[in-house]
Amino acid sequence: MKPTLQDDRRTQKTKKLLADALRELILEKGYDAVTIQDIIDKANVGRSTFYAHYENKEQLLIGNINFQMALIHTPGDDWENYPMGVNLHYLFDHTKEQLNLVKALYRSRSIDTVMNYFAEICAAKIIEYNKRKIRGKAALKTLRYEAEAAAGGIVRVLLKWLEDDAITPVDEMVVFAKRILDSVVTVEKGV
């Protein structure tokens, strides 16, 4: 049976309820103290509904980062706005807007999960951007190392910036992050 538009809307509504409940609970009591029971109680959904969409609260946390689509679906050929397909402005702007939530996550192990997820997205975009310009397994392996290093550097800078209450302007942080991307030796800007 093919899902209907109503099913899609119902699914979206349920996921939003669960994500909102998780966000509120993180701010209220910290990520580590939140249980699935807390989430379903706050969202007023059943346990089976939760598990129909997510395996655990980590999946809920990552699956509902509402700006992940702005990080994943970006053009790869616009160096000025999306260097190597990475939406740096959005990454810095949105995390700054969510500073209270990020600080609450920072007090738990979940910040590593979130930051690793961001690094994986960025590394994948860097590899995708540069992959067509290299030949051979050794060059691909080197690209993977460079992409992981650059993505990790950007995420660590983002994390330290947030620790400092994001006082440096976003535009300055984007310039700094672009310099990190410049370190990827296979880059050809403007291609």
Domain boundaries, given as residue ranges, for the chain:
5-63, 68-182
Report the sign of the C-alpha dihedral through residues 71, 114, 56, 67, in that order. Answer: negative
**pTM score, whole prediction:** 0.78
CA-CA distance, 136 to 10, in Å (whole number)? Answer: 47
Looking at 3.40.50.300, 1.10.10.60, 1.10.1040.10, 3.40.50.2300, the CATH number of the domain 5-63 comes to 1.10.10.60
pLDDT, tens digit, 9 for 90 and up, residues 124-177: 999 988 888 887 888 888 899 999 999 999 999 999 999 899 999 999 999 999
CA-CA distance, 112 to 105, in Å (whole number)? Answer: 9
